[in-house]
Amino acid sequence: MLAEYPIKIVTLAVDLILVGFLVYGLVRVLNGTRAMYLLKGIVILIVATALSEFFSLNILHYILSSISTYGVIMIIVIFQPELRRTLEQMGSADIRKFFDFEEQPVDDSAVDSVVEACYRMSKEKIGALIVFEREMGLDPIALTGVKIDSKVSRELIENIFVPDTPLHDGAVIIRNGRIDSAACILPITSREDLDREYGTRHRAAIGLSEQYDSIVVVVSEETGKVSMVIDGKIIRNLKEETLCKELKRRLERKTQKGIKDMINAQKEKYRNIKLKK
């Protein structure tokens, strides 16, 4: 059937490639969140439903089919924050970034300056809150602060967080390797299971990371300890080298080869055939 209509083969191939990219993008967005467990559960449910029908397990198939029918409403209610976050990320991110079609190298100098400033402030027990924007835009958060738009430097970051200065009480946002704004107000997490040791800065960092895909670095004013917060999870007591390495790794975006590399490979193959002739 397909051999008689070559166009259908091409259409099927394009269809499969698009579905593959959509699945890849969805898994990439949900990875590390509660919704990822939901996705795994849905896959298991679909497979189990199909197997129960294949082996004529009628009672089990009826139960699984009923769960599938009414489970959509349960999913929307239970996982509303994760679903909202996914849709926001898809809407706010450039489609090329969403599928990793373009390379965005990490600004190592910006990361180095931030890390160095954090550990200098840590020795003096000066509190700090620094946010690295990733795919999800932080415009609503940036508007709550003061526009800076300056090159990242250790000296400037330290000056911003000097106690009793106009900009010290709030967060600094790093966007595209530059200090975008300072004194920004972050949303506080509503979680009640956090250690009482966590102050307002830590709770604000967790709250932001629950709603956005940003990475937040926190310097505790009480203990001087440096922590990194991502996806609502806090990693504490990081050494300077470890923090620097983790920031660069997590901010790095690898180039997705995909269709572009497939086309280049075909061109190279065709070129080699011509040379042989």
pLDDT tens for each residue of the chain, 277 residues long = 555 666 777 788 888 898 888 887 777 666 655 566 677 778 888 899 899 999 989 999 888 888 877 777 777 776 676 666 666 655 655 555 555 544 455 578 999 999 999 999 999 999 999 999 987 788 889 999 999 999 999 999 999 999 989 999 999 999 989 999 999 999 999 888 888 888 899 999 999 998 888 999 999 999 999 999 998 999 998 999 999 999 999 987 543 444 445 455 555 555 555 444 5
Confidence at residue 65, expressed as pLDDT on a 0 to 100 scale: 86
**How far is residue 183's CA from residue 83's CA, in Å, rounded to a whole number?**
29
**How far is residue 45's CA from residue 63's CA, in Å, rounded to a whole number?**
11
With CA atoms as reference, report the closest residue to 108 among 5, 251, 8, 236: 251
Confidence at residue 255, expressed as pLDDT on a 0 to 100 scale: 35
Tokens of 49: 């439903």
Domains of the chain in start order, with CATH, are: 6-98 (no CATH), 108-251 (3.40.1700.10)
pTM for the complete prediction? Answer: 0.61
**Residue showing tokens 């508007």:** 143
| Cβ atoms of residues 157 and 179 within 8 Å | yes
